[in-house]
Structure 1
Amino acid sequence: MKILDWYILKRYLLTFLMMLLLFIPIGITVDLAEKIGKIIENNAPFNEVVAYYIDFTVYFANLLFPLFLFLSVIWFTSKLANNTEIVAFLSSGVSFTRFLRPYLIGASIVAVAALILGMFLAPYASQGFNEFKYKYLKRHKEVQKTKDVYRQINDNDIIYVSNFVVRSKSGMNFTYEHFEGNELKFKIFADNIRYIEEDSLYRLTRYVKRSFENGLETIEKSNRKELILPFELEDLTPVEYAAETKTYGDLIDFIEAEKRRGSSNIGRYEVVKLKKWSLPVSIFILTIIAVAVSSIKRRGGMGVNLALGIAIAMVFVFFDKVFGVMAAQSDFPAVVAVWFPNTIFGILAIYLLQNAKR
């Protein structure tokens, strides 16, 4: 790499790191000011609060990686343009494409970091972040589906509860059906089901089992019955943020299992999976847009470039959030929802790059 490459690459990475170090403490301060009342009211232990803000840092840094990078590239490239350094580079015979190379190298480094963070580190931060939030900040908010829970546990077993109470680990009006092929082999009814954690089994009250064999029906009844059933408690009512807390390999297995169970949240889970790949790609797209927008010296100086950059960033976030919600709450294809913003802004990046070259 030549001196030009090292010069721009160092500015690229250092400005990005400074942007993170600048905005993350601001984000923590704003969040703490907003939530300090609930933290004190609910007697959250100090060590858990510290752990929450460590997770908060990783969680939001992962979400806002491309935008921090976008603003940092606009900032230092605008300074280069205002100091006529870019004119000097290009006047020396360096093409705009060649000038762009260290930016793409920097984007590659950040994209790899974002990929590792999203695949392996952010899920653990999301777990701690969400657990603290629903334990101390949103104590009465429902994070699991608890009404009319209908689940296909595997290829042969289907369960249903009309109402499930997470805190007591119990449900009402439970049914469990076991099929072999298309033939129903037995069906269990119970007025109440409760998970006994210390014994890893379920206690059923007013239990009735109807079995079917060779055209004959047998009925078994009991006021109380304890059974080992082929599903975990979290299989019955997974939390809304379950996909966010899983590493990529575990997430793929989780989505396949949820598809077999007929989950209504597949769109939300697919969005989480696909964003792990779309976010690194958006880093390249936003880097190109930032260079194309800010490499031109404007009459209004850096302020015009920053204003234009913030406007583009807001539009990007708007598209990303709107399409993400559409995929999570409807039958809108997750792959379209996740990749549509990158496609639109990729086309914009090519257009702006061509103009910048001219």
Structure 2
Amino acid sequence: MKILDWYIVKRYIGTFVTMLVLFIPIGIIVNLAEKIDKILANEVPFSEVALYYLNFTIYFANLLFPLFLFLSVIWFTSKLANNTEVIAFLSSGVSFYRFLRPYIIGATIVCAGAFFLGTYLAPRANKGYNEFIFEYLKKNKKDRDTQNVYRQIDTGDYIYVSSFTPRTKTGRNFTWEHFEGNKMTYKMSATRIRYNEEDTTYTLNSFKKRTITENGDILESKAKLDTVFNFDMDDLTPVEYIAETLSTPELREFIAKEKSRGSSYISRYEVTLQKRYSLPVAAYILTIIAVAVSAMKRRGGMGINLAFGIVLAFVFIFFDKVFGTLAEQSDFPPLIAVWTPNILFAILAVYLLRNAKR
């Protein structure tokens, strides 16, 4: 039986890697064809383009690995069925559940690597991927910057910049307002704020501060001021992708901090967090469905199995997008939204597995 396990595990991992090697270059070519005009127009250095597509590869593989895994399992299991190898295995006294065991072993190996990728490597790749887009691929500087960022950083403390450039960590028209209850006690402003990574300080240009007291207002102004603040420049990072750039431990801390600030984007961040756990589980479920669908020899051959698999893959993507958007745009619980597609497909997996066993 160990020979059977080793044979299927090798085919499982080998076909999955082959699927990645085949489809990732296609994704890169399509992406390059779409963006080549902007890359040439902005005279992007080759080293930056190469780094961008390295990050794109990690991003692409992490995003679609359950579907690649699903199609690869259908592909090589259909070949086993067409060559009557599955019938030979089952005729030797091996139960269908025992036949399924090496698939689960292969899924465990792949999902362990994918979980590590999604927890630590993919967030760093996503950061570089999104920074490249904001820096070089937006139509103009105004589009590359994030406009009108307004955040609550603590109880009674609010910051605002009219525009923020993530790559240079620079903001324009910065203001800081402090309230005690419903009353403003002071307000700081600057035409420009820049974060200095070497000493973790902030440089403010055309600094002004107005302190409101019972005896009148106190005004201060300086042409330039170097100071420290109790907020991170990441607090001004565009909400579209900040959660994707944090490792899982960092994302958990970030969500806790945003909850204490009363952020309105908590659902979006929690959807990103839950997907890091749901995708590896989805790979297990899709593996079971793929085996149940393709283990039988059909009149239409491998093409029927692949067609059915592609339809199921699109249905899974549809449910994943619909429920994810529903959680981000409404009060629908992110935990339920992210895991609902897995639950629905797990029910389908049980049904197909029982029929395949017969």
TM-score, normalised to structure 1's length? 0.90
In the alignment, which of 216, 219, 240 is matched to residue 221 of structure 1?
219
Structure 1 residue 332: Cα displacement: 2.2
Return 226-235 or 94-103, whichever deviates more.
Answer: 226-235
- Secondary structure of residue in 1 paired with 2:230: coil
Aligned to 2:178: 177
| 2: CA distance, partners of 1:21 / 1:228 | 48
Mapped contact 2:153–2:159 kept (Cα < 8 A): no
Aligned to 2:353: 353
Structure 1 residue 78: Cα displacement: 0.5
Letter in 2 for 1:220: I
Aligned to 1:20: 20
Aligned to 1:2: 2
| 2: CA distance, partners of 1:239 / 1:45 | 27
* Percent identity of paired positions between Structure 1 and Structure 2: 55
CA offset digits 1:174-219 (Å, max 9, x no partner): 341154xx596832254x45314456243465531114xxxx4552
Q: Superposed, which structure 2 residues align to 1:85-234 within 5 Å?
A: 85-140=85-140, 142=143, 146-147=147-148, 149-155=149-155, 157-161=156-160, 163-164=162-163, 166=165, 169-171=171-173, 174-179=175-180, 186-188=185-187, 190=189, 192-197=190-195, 200-203=202-205, 205-211=207-213, 216-224=214-222, 226=225, 228-234=228-234
CA offset digits 1:44-99 (Å, max 9, x no partner): 10111111111111110001110000000000110111111111111111110011
Aligned to 2:256: 256
Mapped contact 1:119–1:276 kept (Cα < 8 A): yes
Letter in 1 for 2:202: S
Structure 1 residue 17: Cα displacement: 0.9
Letter in 1 for 2:351: Y
- Secondary structure of residue in 2 paired with 1:94: coil
Letter in 1 for 2:90: L
CA offset digits 1:143-196 (Å, max 9, x no partner): 77633x4432124x4114373454862226x341154xx596832254x45314
Aligned to 1:58: 58
| 2: CA distance, partners of 1:285 / 1:40 | 43
Aligned to 2:327: 327
Mapped contact 1:146–1:237 kept (Cα < 8 A): no
CA RMSD of aligned residues (A): 2.3
TM-score, normalised to structure 2's length? 0.90
Mapped contact 2:123–2:245 kept (Cα < 8 A): yes
| 2: CA distance, partners of 1:292 / 1:143 | 48
Structure 1 residue 34: Cα displacement: 1.7
| 1: CA distance, partners of 2:84 / 2:215 | 89
| 1: CA distance, partners of 2:68 / 2:304 | 18
Check if 1:243 corresponds to 2:243: yes
Q: Superposed, which structure 2 residues align to 1:72-91 within 5 Å?
A: 72-91=72-91
| 2: CA distance, partners of 1:320 / 1:63 | 12
Letter in 2 for 1:117: L
Letter in 2 for 1:85: E
1:357 to 1:175, Cα distance in 2 relative to 1, 3 A: same
- Secondary structure of residue in 1 paired with 2:61: helix
1:355 to 1:144, Cα distance in 2 relative to 1, 3 A: farther
1:207 to 1:238, Cα distance in 2 relative to 1, 3 A: same
| 2: CA distance, partners of 1:175 / 1:253 | 24
Structure 2 unaligned residues grouped into runs of 5+: none
Structure 1 residue 258: Cα displacement: 1.7
| 2: CA distance, partners of 1:136 / 1:119 | 27
Mapped contact 2:67–2:313 kept (Cα < 8 A): yes
Mapped contact 1:120–1:248 kept (Cα < 8 A): yes
Q: How many residue pairs end up in the alignment?
A: 348
Mapped contact 1:71–1:309 kept (Cα < 8 A): yes
Mapped contact 1:59–1:125 kept (Cα < 8 A): yes
- Secondary structure of residue in 1 paired with 2:154: coil
Structure 1 residue 347: Cα displacement: 0.6
1:89 to 1:197, Cα distance in 2 relative to 1, 3 A: closer
- Secondary structure of residue in 2 paired with 1:200: strand
1:298 to 1:193, Cα distance in 2 relative to 1, 3 A: same
Mapped contact 1:161–1:175 kept (Cα < 8 A): yes
| 2: CA distance, partners of 1:278 / 1:84 | 34
Structure 1 residue 223: Cα displacement: 4.3
